[in-house]
Amino acid sequence: MRKKIVAGNWKMNTTLQEGVALAKEVNEALKDATPKCDVVIAVPFTHLASINAVIDQNKLGLGAENCADHKSGAYTGEVSAPMVASTGATYVILGHSERRQYYGETSEILKEKVALALENNLTPIFCIGEVLEERENGTYHDVVKKQIEEALFNLSAEDFGKIILAYEPVWAIGTGKTATDEQAEDMHAYIRSVIADRYGKEVAENTSILYGGSCKPSNAAQLFAKPDVDGGLIGGASLDAASFMGIVNAF
């Protein structure tokens, strides 16, 4: 059975001190809880080691928001997958639309990042999703299919089985405009069919597909009730422990 997962994506928010305090708060809230899903926080590189030291990773998984497309070397300012792994983190978000849009990440680059993440035992949370224009002109299924094919379909079935997908319609990210549960389910079921065509039904059924984009405590339960929606990747609402826990408890 595939895992249900709620993952926070803090983006470029919080100082180290604020981030450690927030992680402690979430960790504390999970201490005596038995959530019906795995819970993960993806945080800035600078916070990883310190947060690893204050959380119980049996209850709260830790991830980075990106990693480099090279293992090591003369790439000033970059942070490699082995570096991320050495902090104690075990997840990494890859292919977020903000990385694609503002930092020019292409499928070719993402393929390298995915390979390096897997080599270093990091679980990729791989993001896909269409922009508003593609939603409106009806090409959104094809766009998402292409994103998956180009960056992931070179993987063996075994490696593909290690990937978590996050469908994040770009028009819903940080806009307060959530996809409806029907829109999310339609895309998630489609994504699962694309995976089934390439890797077979079993791999497709075992792949966790998260929804992201203005997910909050008030709409999470409805989204998560859909059969192909296996949880959420949460931006804004993950910066407040109570609202993040509200989403975790939506399961």
Q: Is 233 exposed, middle or buried (0-12, 13-18, 19+ CB in 10 A)?
A: buried
Considering all CA atoms of the chain, what is the largest pairwise distance in Å, rounded to the nearest integer? 48
- Our finding on whether 147 is near ligand PGA (CB under 6 A) is no
Q: Which of 39, 233, 241, 247 forms a contact with ligand PGA (CB under 6 A)?
A: 233
- Our finding on whether 184 is near ligand PGA (CB under 6 A) is no
Alpha carbon distance 127, 167 (integer Å): 6
- Our finding on whether 180 is near ligand PGA (CB under 6 A) is no
Among residues 65, 105, 134, 168, which one is catalytic?
168
Stretch that binds ligand PGA, among 141-149, 154-162, 183-191, 228-236 (CB under 6 A): 228-236
Number of residues that bind ligand PGA (CB under 6 A): 13
Stretch that binds ligand PGA, among 82-90, 184-192, 227-235, 241-249 (CB under 6 A): 227-235
Copy the structure tokens of residue 113: 């990042």
- Our finding on whether 128 is near ligand PGA (CB under 6 A) is no
- Our finding on whether 234 is near ligand PGA (CB under 6 A) is yes
The radius of gyration of the chain's CA atoms, rounded to the nearest angstrom, is: 17
108 is catalytic: no
188 is catalytic: no
Instruction: Compute the least distance from the CB of residue 64 to ligand PGA, in Å.
Output: 14
Q: Which of 105, 134, 168, 228 forms a contact with ligand PGA (CB under 6 A)?
A: 168
Q: Which of 49, 121, 156, 174 forms a contact with ligand PGA (CB under 6 A)?
A: 174
Per CB under 6 A, residues contacting ligand PGA are 9, 168, 173-174, 212-215, 233-237
Catalytic residues: 96, 168
